[in-house]
A = this chain, B = another copy of it.
């Protein structure tokens, strides 16, 4: 579904850049990482960086999207519908992702990260919803709302319930969530 660029050089170069960036993120804060650092580490020319990304924020965005997408694909959302089990898996994928981020200091970019997570969630959720129903504009909105809900829950879990497991946190709520939606 993401338009796959096939030229091996493009795949390889993007991988080198992303890997270098993730590697550097483990060593210093985002605001201390320069394009020069990344291209030196990746052994590519700086001009080549700009061939693939608008700037370092564009890279941040795409790198995070990709990492999150890998997490989500681990939940095999593509082959499943939106039942309780996949709902829990989605939630833990988000919390896992946020945990891995918190170890790599992206302070000051919470807004960006939040948007990335929500946007990806939205795509995944919509993909699942149209398996049970048909393609409707209303389902787009449902996906938007559920993505905000899941993201908000992950923030709440991190701030107030980090002592219990993400699974426990979300399982606890699901029955009430379903009934409250059914009522309306």
Contact = CB atoms under 8 A, between A and B. Distances in A.
A45 B8 CA distance: 8
A44 B44 CA distance: 15
Interface in A36-90: 43-45
A16 to B, nearest CB: 8
Contacts of A133: none
Interface in A141-158: none
Interface of A: 8, 11-12, 15, 43-45
Nearest to A42: B12
The secondary structure that dominates the A interface is: helix
Contacts of A44: 8, 12
Contacts of A15: 43
Contacts of A43: 8, 11-12, 15
A97 to B, nearest CB: 26
Contacts of A45: 8
A11 B77 CA distance: 41
A172 to B, nearest CB: 45
Nearest to A48: B8
A45 B7 CA distance: 10
A127 to B, nearest CB: 29
A32 B132 CA distance: 49
7 contacts: A8-B43, A8-B44, A8-B45, A11-B43, A12-B43, A12-B44, A15-B43
Among A11, A43, A44, A45, max chain B CB count under 10 A is at: A43
A31 to B, nearest CB: 27
A15 B44 CA distance: 13
A51 to B, nearest CB: 14
